[in-house]
Structure 1
Amino acid sequence: MGPEGKTFLNIIILGFGFMFMFTAFQTCGNIEQTVIKNFNSTEFHGSGYTSMAIIYGVFSASNLIAPSVVAVIGPQLSMFFSGLVYSGYIAMFIHPFTWTFYTASVFVGIAAAILWTAQGNLLTINSTDATIGRNSGIFWALLQFSLFFGNIYIYFAWQGHVHITDKDRQTVFISLTVISLVGSFLFFLIQRPEPEATPSEASESLPAESTESGSLAVSTPGLCSQALDAFKKALQLSVTKEMLLLSISIAYTGLELTFFSGVYGTCIGAMTRFGEDAKSLIGLSGIFIGIGEILGGGVFGMLNKANRLGRNPIVLLGMITHYVAFYLIFLNIASDAPIAPEEGTPGKAYLTPSIEVALLCSFLLGLGDSCFNTQLLSIVGFMFREDSAPAFAVFKFVQSITAALAFFYSNYLFLHWQLLIMVIVGFLGTLSFFVAEWMVVKSRRDTDYDSI
């Protein structure tokens, strides 16, 4: 197998590893607030929204050290050990206690920062300028199959269940824990990409290549300096003009990630007007989100080379898609559904609640999210090719801190206020992405002109 075939296979394995891990974790996040509401224990006082706020808050802070960890042990081992922590969080739901719930949330936040920094690093070193867009789309589509498979299981397992019993909960979370572990072990199949440099250049850069590929053969004296350099580079990149512009778009993805991964499913499950199948509809909603994500990732990734208009039209499509979804959700879901207690009944929506409209909105949320994320992965990988690990650490820092903020206010804000916040930030994020993309186009033209 040639170098290009090996790197493409690495992207496929990376996508499948994340697909298994997040089949477990995203399904867990989608149902945990509903599970907690149904948990029969006077000793447990946790909140799924609060747990997610802790995860993303710690996630954001841990992105400052994540490039250092990846630089020291390599992306492959970084992803493996992070995956084990994710599995521990999911397993905790088999018999949850308040203290283990929130402690596990802290550790997952740290692991998430390392996992996603390593993922961005591996995606970049296995891509070229010509393939970064395609590979971003393929990875994103494979990752989003996680929403499809896990939620199919929830839909059939919980169909007709008005109340989620302890046995229901334990069966689901034992299965999800095993699935998560399979994903972690898949990372060991990733091979070291062939260096593109000449033999003399390759021998000079061998230590750096070994570090990037996840090899254990790293010289000990250089560990501290590598870690410190990675930390400094992350701080430097965070204040560049390009990253500051992209940060508004990245912040928006954090807000809408919170909404579709935790809040919207809870809203659907709380809608008693959807009948006895309201709980199983959480799973069906996740499936439709996944279909939107997979369709967007596949189309915008595989057709990347054919897109001569750049990234801006895809991001604009994402914003329009989300605006349509937000308006329909505003009309179709009761405003107090995100915070309605299990024993309470949400108020009335503006229209007669429709399951079909609710699932259409799920699809639109997934499609719009894929528009933003595939293009952000592509542009960050392109603009910061030489410093991919620190750049993706900054990416995840911004995304996770806004996600943490959104999960925190989801405990208190009615639905219409949450939608309004996303509308405003989404508009500003789209404009700032346009400016960043125009900067990329301008730099390409200048480079082409200088080479004549």
Structure 2
Amino acid sequence: MATDEETPLVDENPPRSQPLNHRRDLYILCWAFLLIFLAYGAVQNLQSTINTEGDLGTISLGILYLSFTFFSMVASLVVRKLGSKNALILGTTGYWLFTAANLKASWYTMVPTSLFLGFAASIIWVGQGTYLTSLAQTHANDYNLHEGTVIGKFNGEFWGMFAGHQLIGNLITLVILKDEKGGSTSGTTLLFILFLFSLTIGMILMCFLTKRNGKEEVLQNSPISFSSSVVSSLKSMLNLLLDIRILLVIPLIAYSGLQQAFVWAEYTKEIVKPSLGERGVGGAMAVYGVFDAISSLAAGRLTSGLSSITIIVSGGALIQLIVLVWLLLGYSVTTGVLGKFLPLLIGALWGIGDGVFNTQLSALLGLLFKHDLEGAFAQLKLWQSATIAVVFFISTSISLQTMLVIMLVVLCISVAGFLFLTIKVEKAFSYHAS
């Protein structure tokens, strides 16, 4: 007899009485996020090279992620009140406005839209984590499948498709933008208009998601005042911080944000540009995106529970550890074919690690915090965005070597805490629950 893990994700002949729209919603969510972030991801990558006057682009991103950090503290409350579908739709508007602001970039357009995007990003990501996990749990329950396996596969499919935004968005940038004499760049207006079109289609797709019912409807119709709800939400977040499990996961969450910010702030500037030039940034990020997508799909397919998550995370961390040590001790900018190949290899390896962390952290939180998904995913985005904001603000004042040392230390601490969680703490929780 086949075990739960061996049971197909979707039965070939499911009973007619069972709902059939779970995978439909998954694909709508995947396509919507792909269209939104192929635009925003490319726009973000361009900030430090297009909006250079007064470091407007870099400072705008720092403001964005500070706002993201602040609003993450109440994002779970907003998602509970709005419902995850409405939160996803509202969150899309922030990315649209930020992209539109780049058509007339100035302090008066970029700073307000960066602040609003911080709020929008906090609710769209808490909404995404809540919606996707709820979708997977419902699918597993309706089809009598192993919950951990379904959560892993749904996350793998989502993050695999999501990672494709780096490939598509950067290839579009590579085709549209032209380097002019004197270091100027042409084609930005056409590029941003294309991205606004992509964002609009993504927003429309969000409207076709099936509304998640049950707990969300109760919370939306609750007569409790907003101020009381804010206090309750903050207390809930603080109470979650008393859970030893989240405390042991937070360092890994922080590192996942740190390694993403490293790509945006340091990898393109310090590793790619000296070897491949400014035009090579799009190609290198496309390679990064391809391997990120492949890694996400593979990691999701291999996820079946806590033990598999432990093995996969350890493998991804080992790959990034090797890259960090290589950059610290042996890497130098070289000429010729090898000089052009090595930055791409580093991007590919780093993309594998990022795909692992994206899929496995989402699956881990979905498994450990079933009764407070919004709060758990709010913690995920709170610590990720805080780390990213710090990197954007300090990257201009510290050397690459210092950044690598910081990352190496944080990686070691985070993996140690994660392994302690999976080996010791979760066994204790499982024992008391049984």
TM-score by length of 1: 0.83
Q: What aligned pairs does 1:334-345 form with structure 2 within 5 A after superposition?
A: none
**Contact 1:144 1:294 (C-alpha < 8 Å) held by counterparts:** yes
**Contact 1:60 1:398 (C-alpha < 8 Å) held by counterparts:** yes
* 1:210 to 2:217 alignment: yes
Q: What aligned pairs does 1:351-366 form with structure 2 within 5 A after superposition?
A: 351-352=334-335, 354-366=339-351
**Which residue is 2:25 aligned to?**
10
**Which residue is 1:155 aligned to?**
174
**Which residue is 1:254 aligned to?**
257
Which amino acid is 1:170 matched to?
Answer: T
Which amino acid is 1:233 matched to?
Answer: S
SS in structure 2 opposite 1:19?
A: helix
Which amino acid is 1:17 matched to?
Answer: A
**Residue 120 (structure 1) shift:** 1.3
**Contact 1:31 1:282 (C-alpha < 8 Å) held by counterparts:** no
**Which residue is 1:84 aligned to?**
93
Over aligned residues, Cα RMSD in angstroms?
Answer: 2.5
**Residue 165 (structure 1) shift:** 4.2
1:265 and 1:154 mapped to 2: Cα distance? 15
SS in structure 2 opposite 1:47?
A: helix
* Structure 1 pair 211–301 and aligned structure 2 pair: CA distance change class (3 A): farther
1:7 and 1:181 mapped to 2: Cα distance? 24
Percent identity between the two aligned chains: 24
**Residue 221 (structure 1) shift:** 1.7
Q: What aligned pairs does 1:20-35 form with structure 2 within 5 A after superposition?
A: 20-35=35-50
**Residue 447 (structure 1) shift:** 6.7
**Residue 232 (structure 1) shift:** 2.6
1:267 and 1:36 mapped to 2: Cα distance? 18
SS in structure 2 opposite 1:294?
A: helix
**Residue 59 (structure 1) shift:** 0.8
**Contact 1:328 1:357 (C-alpha < 8 Å) held by counterparts:** no
* Structure 1 pair 4–361 and aligned structure 2 pair: CA distance change class (3 A): farther
**Which residue is 1:288 aligned to?**
287
* Structure 1 pair 226–360 and aligned structure 2 pair: CA distance change class (3 A): same
Q: Aligned pair count?
A: 406
**Residue 126 (structure 1) shift:** 0.9
**Which residue is 2:378 aligned to?**
393
**Contact 1:31 1:265 (C-alpha < 8 Å) held by counterparts:** no
Q: Give per-residue Cα distances to partners, 1:33-80, cap 9 Å, x unaligned.
A: 11124xxxxxx4243322222111111111111111111111111111
Gapped runs of 5+ residues in structure 1?
A: 38-43, 196-205, 213-217, 334-348
**Contact 2:177 2:186 (C-alpha < 8 Å) held by counterparts:** no
Q: Give per-residue Cα distances to partners, 1:251-271, cap 9 Å, x unaligned.
A: 101111111134322335642
Aligned pair partner of 2:223 in 221, 225, 245: 221
Aligned pair partner of 2:197 in 178, 182, 191: 178
Q: Give per-residue Cα distances to partners, 1:272-321, cap 9 Å, x unaligned.
A: x53xxx2221111111111121111100112323x894212211211221
1:132 and 1:169 mapped to 2: Cα distance? 39
* 1:240 to 2:243 alignment: yes
Which amino acid is 2:349 matched to?
Answer: L
Which amino acid is 2:368 matched to?
Answer: M
Which amino acid is 1:25 matched to?
Answer: Y
**Residue 444 (structure 1) shift:** 7.3
* 1:192 to 2:211 alignment: yes
* 1:106 to 2:106 alignment: no
**Contact 1:263 1:410 (C-alpha < 8 Å) held by counterparts:** yes
**Contact 1:319 1:430 (C-alpha < 8 Å) held by counterparts:** yes
**Which residue is 1:201 aligned to?**
none
**Which residue is 1:425 aligned to?**
410
Which amino acid is 2:246 matched to?
Answer: M
Q: Give per-residue Cα distances to partners, 1:135-194, cap 9 Å, x unaligned.
A: 11111111111111001112233466566646422122121122122212211111135x
**Contact 1:83 1:184 (C-alpha < 8 Å) held by counterparts:** yes
**Residue 18 (structure 1) shift:** 1.1
**Residue 366 (structure 1) shift:** 0.9
**Residue 365 (structure 1) shift:** 1.0
**Residue 327 (structure 1) shift:** 4.1
* 1:62 to 2:65 alignment: no
1:3 and 1:109 mapped to 2: Cα distance? 39
* Structure 1 pair 139–162 and aligned structure 2 pair: CA distance change class (3 A): farther
Gapped runs of 5+ residues in structure 2?
A: 1-15, 138-146
Bigger CA drift: 397-406 or 157-166?
A: 157-166
Bigger CA drift: 112-121 or 98-107?
A: 98-107
1:16 and 1:440 mapped to 2: Cα distance? 37
**Which residue is 1:316 aligned to?**
314
1:147 and 1:289 mapped to 2: Cα distance? 7
**Contact 1:297 1:370 (C-alpha < 8 Å) held by counterparts:** yes
**Residue 2 (structure 1) shift:** 6.3
1:383 and 1:409 mapped to 2: Cα distance? 34
**Contact 1:72 1:211 (C-alpha < 8 Å) held by counterparts:** no
SS in structure 1 opposite 2:187?
A: helix
2:309 and 2:17 mapped to 1: Cα distance? 30
**Residue 228 (structure 1) shift:** 4.8
Bigger CA drift: 431-440 or 252-261?
A: 431-440
* 1:371 to 2:348 alignment: no
2:367 and 2:182 mapped to 1: Cα distance? 48
Bigger CA drift: 431-440 or 28-37?
A: 431-440
